[in-house]
Every structure is written in structure tokens, then in C-alpha cells.
Amino acid sequence: MERKLSVQPELFFVGELGSNVIASAMAGFDGHRGSVFYLAIDPESQHLGYGRQLMTHIEEALHAMGCPKMNILVRATNDEVLAFYRKLGYSVDDAVSIGKRLIPDD
């Protein structure tokens, strides 16, 4: 969270229900594509529409910044999350994600 709050903190989202945190997500926009990372909904609050609401809010925020397209990384084995995004109109791109860690986690 500290890293995200140092870069585009306006794209760090927290959803509260009463005094409880039930959702969070980190988004980013590089001027070409928007991304969403670590979208999480409290297990007891899942399947109640909060994930959809949070994604709508993120899409609106990125659209207001001029973002033309979203890319989201999801593990290929995470069928439940893939189904969630498909219901929101996302589809699997024919692309390969590659990575290299530059700063090790503690």
C-alpha cells in the first residue's frame, strides 16, 4: 500500500460498509492503458455486487483520465475471478505476461 500511495494515490480505492473495510483495489494509468491490481472483496461480502460497483468506479475514474482500454492480469487457474470479469464485459487477450522483479519484497 505504501508503494501505491506514493504513485497515483487517487487510484487506490477502499470500499467501506459502515465502519468495516470490505473492498479494495489498486489501479494505474500509464497514458496508454489502465490496469487494476489486487481487487479484493471481503469473503463475507462477495457475490453482493460490491466488486461490480468497485470496478464501475475504477472504470469511470480511468475514463475521466482519458484511458482508452483496460488490461487486467488474472492467474489462468483462477476460474472464479475470470468469470467475474467476463460478466463485466472483459475478455481474454491473446497475450503473454512476463515479469522481472526489480525491488525484492521484504
Please classify residue 29 by burial: count the beta carbons closer than 10 Å to its beta carbon, then call 0-12 exposed, 13-18 middle and 19+ buried.
middle
**7 pLDDT more than 90:** no
- Report d(CA 59, CA 67) in Å as an integer: 9
What SS3 state is found at 95? coil
Reported as a single tens digit per residue, the pLDDT across 9-58 is 999 999 999 999 999 999 999 999 999 999 999 999 999 999 999 999 99
Bridge partners of residue 41, in order along the sequence: 23
For the segment(s) 2-87, the CATH number from 3.10.20.30, 3.40.630.30, 3.50.50.60, 3.90.940.20 is: 3.40.630.30
pTM: 0.87
Going from N- to C-terminal start, the domains of the chain cover 2-87
Q: In angstroms, how far is CA 76 from the centroid of its own chain?
A: 16
H-helix segments, the chain: 2-5, 50-64, 79-87
